[in-house]
Amino acid sequence: MDKNEPKRIDELLTDDSFLQYCRGDEAEKLHWEKQMALDPALKEAAEKAKQLYELLCSELTDPAVESLTFRQLLQDKGYMNTAAPVPSIPAQRRRWIWAAASIFLLSILSGVWLYTGKKNTDPITQMQPGKPAPLQNDAAPGKNTATLILADGRSVLLDSTGNGEIANQGPTQIVKLQEGQILYKTDGSKTTDILYNTMQTPRGGQYKLILPDGTKVWLNAASSIRYPTAFTGNERRVSITGEVYFEVAKVSDPAKQGKFQPFVVEKDEMRIEVLGTYFNVNTYEDESDMKVTLLEGSVIVTSAGSEAPGVKLRPGQQASVNNTDALSITNDIDLEVVMAWKNGLFDFNRADIKAIMRQIGRWYDLEIIYEGNIPTREFSGKITRNTNLSNVLRILEQSNINFSIEGKTIMVKP
C-alpha cells in the first residue's frame, strides 16, 4: 500500500480526497475502497472517520433550512394546504426580532417616540392623542408592491391582488404566495438558458422574494434586484440598487458533489461575497455611502475602485464604501436601527432632519424641498411605518419643524 496514505481518523478527515469519498464521489470511492481492501487498519479508521463525518454533518444540519425545502416539496405535491408559509427563524435570530416587535408594540400602544436621551439629541416629545392633524394633505404609507420584469421583457405588476401562479418561464413557474412574496418553482429539469429577471419596488413599495436557491430577499422602497432564474454556475450572482436585506441559503448542490456555491451581490464597483448569512445592503444614490451591515455569518466586501483588499465582516460590523470608493469598517452597529425598515419601523438614532426626510420621501413617495434655515439638530426615536404620513410629521412638528404638502411634494420649513 501507499506509505503516504493517512490512517488516523483526524488525518483522514482533513484530507479533501477522503471527504470527496464521504460525499459520494465515484472516482474517490473506487480509490478508497481499493486502499481499504489492502489495509484493514485503514479500513477500520476510514469507517470510523466516515461515521464521525456523517454524525457531525447531521448535527450541523439546520432543521429550519431543511423544513423550508420540505415545505416546497409539500407544495409541489399539493398534499396539504400550504398557501401561506411562515418561514421559521433560527433561534439565534429570534432575539432581535422580538426586541423589535416589542418596541413596535410599545410605540403603537403609547403613541410615543421613544428617545435615547443622549447628549445633543433632541428628545421628541409625547404625541397628543386626538390632536387634529394640522396638515391639509396627507399620504398613505407604502404597500407591498413591486414589478417583476421577466427575461423576455414582459413585466408583471405584483400587488395585493390574487395569489397563485403568475407566469411561466420555460420549466420555471413563478408563484405568488401571501401578500408581498413570490417564489420560483422548477420542475427539476435542467435549464440550458440562463434567464435574468428583475424585481423592482417603486417609491412607497416594499416586497419579499424567495430566489430559486431558497435565499430570502427583502426589498425596501425604490430598490431592485436582478438575478438568474436558476443558479447554475460556480457562483450565485445578483446585482441590486437601493436597500436590500438578504438571508442567503446555504446551498450545497448534490449535482456538484455537494460543492458550495458562493453567493455574490454586486452594486457598481462594490462586491459582496457571501456564505449562508444574514446582511443588509443600503446603496441608495441619495445617501452618502453604500453600507453593508452583517447580522450573522460572514461576508467579504470589496470595492474595485479601492486600493485596499476586501474586508471580512464580523456580525455587528458595517462596511461603508464612500463616493471615492474607499472602504471602511464601523464596529458595534445598532442593528435595530439598520433593520428597522424590514421590521416595519422608522428608527432613528441621532439622525439629522435630512436623513429622516430621505427615508420618509422614499416610503411615502414624496419629493422633499427645504425652505429657510433648517436646524441641524439630531433626532432619535421609533415609529411604525404602517401609518399615515401626518402621524409621523406631527411628532416632528413638535420639535418646531413645519411641513406643508402639495401633491407629491413636501416642503420643510423651520
| Placement of cell 440598487 in the chain | 241
3-state secondary structure of 184: strand
Q: Using the rule CB under 8 A, is 88 a contact of another protein?
A: yes
| Placement of cell 404638502 in the chain | 405
Pick from 34, 37, 38, 61: which binds another protein (CB under 8 A)? 61
Q: How far is CA 242 from the centre of its chain?
A: 12
Q: Residue 143 and residue 180: Cα distance in Å, rounded? A: 9
Beta strands in 140-235 (DSSP E): 143-144, 146-149, 155-158, 164-169, 172-176, 181-186, 196-200, 205-210, 216-219, 224-228
**Hey, which residues does 303 pair with through a beta bridge?**
270
- Residue 80 Cβ vs another protein, minimum distance, rounded to whole Å: 4
Pick from 1, 37, 38, 55: which binds another protein (CB under 8 A)? 55
| Placement of cell 464521525 in the chain | 52
Per-residue cell: 132: 387634529
Q: Using the rule CB under 8 A, is 152 a contact of another protein?
A: no
Q: Using the rule CB under 8 A, is 255 a contact of another protein?
A: no
Phi, psi angles (nearest 5°) of residue 351: -95, 145
DSSP code string of 342-355 = GGTEEEEEEEEHHH
- Residue 11 Cβ vs another protein, minimum distance, rounded to whole Å: 8
- Residue 282 Cβ vs another protein, minimum distance, rounded to whole Å: 23
Nearer to another protein, 66 or 193 (CB): 66
Question: Which alpha helices (DSSP H) does 254-341 contain, by range?
Answer: 335-339
Q: How far is CA 51 from CA 10, 26, 54, in A?
A: 12, 18, 5
Region binding another protein by CB under 8 A among candidate stretches 153-161, 239-247, 268-276, 359-367:
268-276
Nearer to another protein, 229 or 277 (CB): 277
Q: Are 320 and 304 spatial neighbours (Cβ–Cβ below 8 Å)?
A: no
Pick from 141, 258, 305, 316: which binds another protein (CB under 8 A)? 258
Q: How far is CA 126 from the centre of its chain?
A: 33
- Residue 327 Cβ vs another protein, minimum distance, rounded to whole Å: 15
Nearer to another protein, 22 or 211 (CB): 22
Q: Using the rule CB under 8 A, is 27 a contact of another protein?
A: no
Pick from 57, 89, 99, 308: which binds another protein (CB under 8 A)? 57
User: Site mask, another protein, residues 210-249, x = CB under 8 A?
Assistant: ----------------------------------------
Nearer to another protein, 68 or 103 (CB): 68
Q: Using the rule CB under 8 A, is 276 a contact of another protein?
A: yes
Question: Nearest Cα to 349, choosing from 117, 133, 175?
Answer: 117
Q: Using the rule CB under 8 A, is 252 a contact of another protein?
A: yes
Pick from 14, 110, 125, 328: which binds another protein (CB under 8 A)? 14
The region, left, alpha or beta by phi > 0 then psi within -120 to 50, assigned to residue 120 is left
The type of residue at 249 is: A
Region binding another protein by CB under 8 A among candidate stretches 52-60, 124-132, 156-164, 238-246:
52-60
Question: Nearest Cα to 266, choosing from 292, 289, 286, 285?
Answer: 292
Q: Using the rule CB under 8 A, is 36 a contact of another protein?
A: no
- The DSSP element (H or E) to which 281 belongs, if any, is strand 278-283
Size of interface with another protein, in residues (CB under 8 A): 53
- Residue 3 Cβ vs another protein, minimum distance, rounded to whole Å: 20
- Residue 343 Cβ vs another protein, minimum distance, rounded to whole Å: 22
Residues binding another protein (CB under 8 A): 8-11, 13-14, 16, 19, 23-24, 47-48, 50-61, 63-64, 66-67, 70-71, 73-74, 77, 79-82, 86, 88, 91, 250, 252, 254, 258-260, 262, 273, 275-276, 298, 300, 312
